[in-house]
């Protein structure tokens, strides 16, 4: 395992990836939870991507090879979405479409936990979750308190490394400090703001933004680092002047829309 420091090459990949998302406008298929659909779609539009909420059986598998990336979020896994998720990831893998798994509340709830482990067999490109979710997926924990983590980011380091190595996925662990690994390289990002935890979809929309970057930038690890960097920098830009979570949500979308690669690279703190 090697820690990745803030090198000119890594910062250049962040600049490049932000620009590539803007120019390519990647089409992101979202099979996501009903609570966050609108915010997720708006976050994708703000960053320069195109959202497509194609989440029913007999359509999700048809659409996945057409999309530039696919997001599977297990926040409200009703029967139709469970079937659509399996269909979409099978088609994505067969078609070479990168896909992101967001295992919301796994470990605590049995239906989504079983589904998450089934989906892992299809080898996601990227897994994004909070520390407790990542530990549960890695078989090293029992999950958190519903959607809230009961563990710290560094508590999940070994689980994230194990999960990345066993699946081939990049693993992004979200928290006050974000941690990303491909099983060898490790990056921590210390940007962000606590108000992200006070709005619906603050974490779930990040999974969609990571998918957008994976659909535009070839290196999945660099894409994930750039996506988290852009997202957390936008949160820092949005927080000053926000009166609370409501105004922050609006300002956050505006901040995402205002980003360019240079602004992200100047502000991001990597270690």
How high is the pLDDT of residue 7?
79
Considering Cα of 159, then 138, then 231, then 50, what sign does the dihedral take? positive
Task: Count Cα atoms within 13 angstroms, Cβ side, for 179.
Answer: 21
Q: Which residues of the chain have pLDDT under 50?
A: 5, 144
What size, in residues, is the chain?
271
Tokens of 167: 């699946």
How high is the pLDDT of residue 244?
97
Each residue's pLDDT tens digit, 241-254:
999 999 999 999 99
How high is the pLDDT of residue 152?
83
Reported in sequence order, the residue ranges of 53-177 that DSSP labels E, i.e. its strands, are 69-73, 99-102, 126-129, 170-173
- The answer for residues whose C-beta is within 8 angstroms of residue 86's C-beta and 6 or more apart is 115, 118, 119
Each residue's pLDDT tens digit, 207-243:
999 999 999 999 999 999 999 999 999 999 999 999 9
């Amino acid at each position: 395992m090697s820690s990745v420091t803030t090198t000119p090459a890594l910062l250049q990949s962040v600049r490049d990836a932000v620009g590539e998302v803007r120019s390519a406008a990647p089409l992101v298929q979202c099979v996501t939870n009903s609570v966050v659909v609108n915010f997720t779609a708006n976050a994708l539009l703000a960053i320069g991507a195109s959202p497509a909420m194609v989440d029913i059986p007999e359509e999700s598998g048809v659409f996945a090879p057409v999309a530039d990336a696919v997001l599977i979020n297990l926040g409200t896994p009703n029967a139709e979405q469970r079937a659509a998720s399996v269909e979409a990831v099978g088609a994505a893998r067969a078609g070479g479409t990168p896909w992101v798994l967001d295992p919301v509340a796994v470990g605590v709830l049995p239906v989504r936990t079983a589904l998450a482990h089934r989906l892992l067999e299809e080898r996601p490109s990227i897994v994004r979750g909070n520390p407790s979710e990542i530990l549960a997926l890695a078989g090293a924990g029992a999950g958190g308190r519903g959607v809230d983590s009961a563990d710290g980011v560094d508590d999940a380091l070994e689980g994230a490394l194990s999960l990345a190595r066993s699946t081939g996925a990049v693993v992004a662990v979200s928290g006050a400090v974000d941690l990303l690994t491909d099983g060898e390289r490790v990056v921590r990002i210390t940007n962000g703001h606590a108000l992200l935890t006070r709005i619906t979809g603050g974490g779930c929309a990040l999974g969609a933004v990571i998918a957008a970057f994976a659909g535009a930038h070839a290196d999945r690890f660099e894409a994930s680092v750039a996506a988290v960097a852009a997202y957390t920098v936008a949160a820092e830009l949005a927080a000053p002047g926000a009166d609370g979570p409501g105004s922050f949500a609006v300002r956050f979308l505006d901040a995402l829309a205002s980003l360019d690669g240079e602004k992200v690279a100047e502000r991001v703190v990597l270690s």
